[in-house]
Amino acid sequence: MNKIAAIFLIGLISAGALGVYISNLPGKKPFKRNGHNDISRAYMTKTANGGKRNVIKKGDRKLENSSSNIVTAVVLDYRGFDTLGEVTVLFAAIAGIGLLLGGSRRRRIRPAGPVISSMAPWIAAFIIITSAYIFLHGHLSPGGGFPGGAMIAAGFLIMVLGMGSRAPKIFKTIETFGGLAFITVGVIGFLKKGSFLQNAFGSGEVGTLFGSIFLGILYAIIGFKVAAELSSGFGEFVAEEEGKHE
Amino acid sequence: MNNTIFILGVGAFFLMMIGLYGVLTNRNVFRLILGLGLMETGVNLFIVGASYWKGGKPPILGTVFETKAVDSYADPVPQALVLTSIVIGLGVTALALALMVRLKETTKSIDIIETKEEEVNE
Taking only the tens place, the pLDDT of each residue in A205-241 is 877 888 888 888 999 999 999 999 988 888 777 764 4
User: What's the CATH number for B3-119?
Assistant: 1.10.287.3510
Contact A160, A238 (CB under 8 A): yes
CA atoms within 13 A on the CB side of A32: 3
Average pLDDT value for residue range B69-95? 86
Kindly report the average pLDDT of chain B as a whole number: 82
Please list every residue in chain B whose beta carbon sits closer than 8 Å to the beta carbon of residue A94.
Answer: 91, 94
Which percentage of chain A shows pLDDT scores above 90?
Answer: 21
**Would you say residue A56 has pLDDT above 70?**
no
DSSP assignment string, A44-83 = HH--SSTT----PPTT---SS---SBHHHIIIIIITHHHH
ipTM entry: 0.83
CA distance A75 to chain B (A): 6
pLDDT per residue over A60-118, tens digit each?
A: 777 777 788 888 888 888 888 899 999 999 999 998 988 888 764 555 667 778 888 88
* Burial of A72: CB neighbours in 10 Å, binned 0-12, 13-18, 19+: buried
pLDDT at residue A68 in the model: 82
Alpha-carbon gap, residue B81 to A70, rounded angstroms: 13
**Would you say residue B37 has pLDDT above 90?**
yes
Q: Which three-class secondary structure state does DSSP give residue A2?
A: coil
Mutate which of B87, B105, B112 to disrupt the A interface (most A C-beta within 10 Å)? B87
Contact B93, A90 (CB under 8 A): no
Amino acid occupying residue B26: N
Instruction: Using a CB–CB cutoff of 8 Å, tell me whether B69 touches chain A.
Output: yes
CA distance B74 to chain A (A): 8
pLDDT at residue A184 in the model: 92
Task: Average the pLDDT over each of A93-102, A136-145, B48-57 and give the range with the smallest value.
Answer: B48-57
Whether residues B65 and A58 touch (CB distance < 8 A) is answered with: yes
Closest alpha carbon within chain B to A89? B88
**Would you say residue A35 has pLDDT above 90?**
no
Beta bridge partners of B73: B57
Amino acid occupying residue A104: S
pLDDT at residue A223 in the model: 92
Alpha-carbon gap, residue A34 to A88, rounded angstroms: 36
Instruction: Using a CB–CB cutoff of 8 Å, tell me whether B58 touches chain A.
Output: yes
In which band, very low, low, confident or very high, does the pLDDT at A156 lie, cut at 50, 70 and 90?
confident
Q: Which three-class secondary structure state does DSSP give residue A115?
A: helix
B residues 19..48 contacting A (CB < 8 A)? 20-21, 24-25
Q: What are phi and psi of A198, to 5 degrees?
A: -85, 155
**Could you tell me which residue, A54 or A15, shows the higher pLDDT?**
A15
**Could you tell me which residue, A57 or A70, shows the higher pLDDT?**
A70
A residues 67..126 contacting B (CB < 8 A)? 68-71, 73-75, 79, 82-83, 86, 89-90, 92-94, 96-97, 100-101
DSSP 8-state class, residue A141: S
Average pLDDT value for residue range A121-127? 92
**Would you say residue B42 has pLDDT above 60?**
yes
Contact A66, A205 (CB under 8 A): yes
Instruction: Using a CB–CB cutoff of 8 Å, tell me whether B5 touches chain A.
Output: yes
pLDDT per residue over A170-183, tens digit each?
A: 888 888 898 899 99
Nearest Cα neighbor of B91 from A220, A218, A157, A92 is: A92
Query: From residue A60, how far is each of A40, A68, A182 by CA, in Å?
Result: 20, 11, 28
